[in-house]
């Protein structure tokens, strides 16, 4: 299965990106292939209700915004107060794992994938401090996915 190594990659990224007063989280949730977009959104809202006080909304996005948000988080290094201080070796190891994550995400998409983002930077299911993203990758020809990542102190 495509997602067999999902937990290994996500856990490795979280470990490699743990820094001074800084940590990250990543997640990939799978929806059944017969679920429509409303079903997917309803499940996310129900599962994340305890994290949000307001009612989230989704809007159609695009693949460029998807990769921009992910790359921003991957490139973020912070400052003296909070962030990552990596050696050259650690940076190289992190880059490899980030590419593994991107390769995994590519396997979840097709040329028919629609990208939905949460309106006004509402990051579900958790809050973020420095950066964050959450997308529904809706597929007609594959299962759909909820992809999220973020950082906190």
What is the per-residue pLDDT across 89-142, written as a single tens digit (0 to 9) for each?
Answer: 999 999 999 999 999 999 999 999 999 987 655 555 556 678 888 899 999 878
Q: Given this structure, which CATH class describes domain 6-152?
A: alpha beta
What is the average pLDDT score of the chain? 87
CA distances from residue 10 to 30, 115, 140, 148 in whole angstroms, order as listed? 15, 21, 25, 11
Q: Look up the pTM and report it.
A: 0.88
Tell me the pLDDT tens digit for each residue of 61-92: 999 999 999 999 999 999 989 999 999 999 99
Question: Above pLDDT 90, what percent of the chain?
Answer: 58
């Amino acid at each position: 299965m495509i997602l067999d190594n999902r937990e290994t990659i996500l856990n490795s990224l979280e470990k490699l990106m743990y820094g001074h007063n800084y940590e990250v989280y990543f997640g990939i949730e799978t929806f059944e292939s017969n679920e429509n977009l409303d079903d997917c959104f309803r499940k996310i809202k129900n599962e994340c209700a305890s994290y949000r006080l307001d009612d989230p909304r989704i809007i159609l996005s695009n693949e460029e915004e998807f990769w921009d948000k992910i790359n921003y988080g991957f490139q973020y290094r912070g400052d003296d107060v909070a962030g990552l201080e990596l050696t050259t070796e650690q940076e190289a190891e992190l880059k490899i794992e980030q590419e593994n994550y991107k390769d995994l995400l590519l396997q979840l998409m097709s040329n028919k994938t629609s990208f939905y983002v949460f309106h006004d930077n509402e990051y579900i299911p958790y809050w973020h401090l420095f950066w964050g993203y959450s997308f529904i990758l809706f597929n007609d020809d594959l299962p759909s996915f909820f992809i999220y990542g973020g950082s906190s102190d």
